[in-house]
Chain A
Amino acid sequence: MKDKRPVNLDIGTIDLPLAALTSITHRVSGVIVFVGIAILLWLFDASLASEEGFNSLGGLATSFLGKLILWGVLAALAYHMMAGCKHLLMDFGIGETKEAAPIGAKVVIVVSIVLFVVLGVWIW
């Protein structure tokens, strides 16, 4: 091995493949869910405290912005779970090859978009 081969470790200059983009999105969605759990716990509390709270979800379900926030948190959660399922499959050696990586990434994106729509229909 030559010692003086050029090494580029500056990730900002590297063109990320689709699998890498779904990977960083997995991480970003994880942070969104971490913060979003506060909203979900607040809704959980309101939904169990009283029938009125259940019906209006603590007032969140009665405004467009409230619904949008709820949809955003649940969408991040859905994406995080789909990307996580892919991770678990890869732990079992499924879809680990270079050829399978973009396919797996596309499946995660397509299934997530379907879930985003389902969640949107359910919330509105």
Chain B
Amino acid sequence: MVTSITSLGRNGLYDWLVQRVSAVVLLLWFLYVAFFVATHASLTYDDWRGLFAQTSMRIFTLAALLSLCAHAWIGMWTISTDYFTSGLLGSKATTIRLLFQLATLAVLVIYLLWCVLILWSI
């Protein structure tokens, strides 16, 4: 019997889709910022601050960070269920895996709150 072990979505197909949509959002964000930096030969503090002071860029950045949280969660969850198994770690595997997943979640929540604080204190 196939047991239902889900990470973010309700099933693997949904996770697969979330992983790709979030990847594209992140790719677009990094490409846009890289383009902005590359097209400003001598980038000044005011240029940089001005970019992220725009509401649209704040929302884009927040969307990128939310995508990162989803993307990293699915990735780290996959790693934890691939390697922290009873076959490799014995009876402690479930405890280690759950602690690892909790730590991942905690780090992502900190990243998200940190990013919101940075963006809205400009």
A residues contacting B by CB (< 8 A) are 27, 30-31, 34, 37-38, 41, 44-45, 47-48, 50-51, 54-55, 77, 81, 84-85, 87-88, 91
Are the CB atoms of B118 and A44 closer together than 8 Å?
yes
Q: DSSP class of A's interface residues: helix, strand, loop or mixed?
A: helix
Known: A48-B48, A48-B118, A48-B122. A81 touches B111 (CB 8 A): no
Known: A27-B79, A91-B20. A48 touches B49 (CB 8 A): yes
B-side interface residues, number (CB < 8 Å): 21
Does B76 lie at the interface of the complex (its beta carbon under 8 Å from any beta carbon of A)? Answer: yes
Instruction: Give Cα A52–Cα B84 distance, bound, in whole angstroms.
Output: 44
Of residues 14 to 52 in B, which have CB atoms within 8 Å of A's CB atoms? 20, 23-24, 27, 30, 45, 48-49, 52
B residues contacting A by CB (< 8 A) are 20, 23-24, 27, 30, 45, 48-49, 52, 68, 72, 75-76, 79, 104, 107, 111, 114-115, 118, 122
Which chain A residue shows the least CB distance to B46? A51
Are the CB atoms of B111 and A37 closer together than 8 Å?
yes
Are the CB atoms of A45 and B114 closer together than 8 Å?
yes
Measured CB to CB, the closest approach of chain A to B76, in angstroms, equals 6
Are the CB atoms of B118 and A77 closer together than 8 Å?
no
Are the CB atoms of A45 and B27 closer together than 8 Å?
no
Known: A37-B68, A48-B49, A51-B45. A31 touches B79 (CB 8 A): yes
Query: Which residues of B sit under 8 angstroms from A27, Cβ to Cβ?
Result: 75, 79
Query: Which residues of B sit under 8 angstroms from A50, Cβ to Cβ?
Result: 45
Are the CB atoms of B45 and A84 closer together than 8 Å?
no
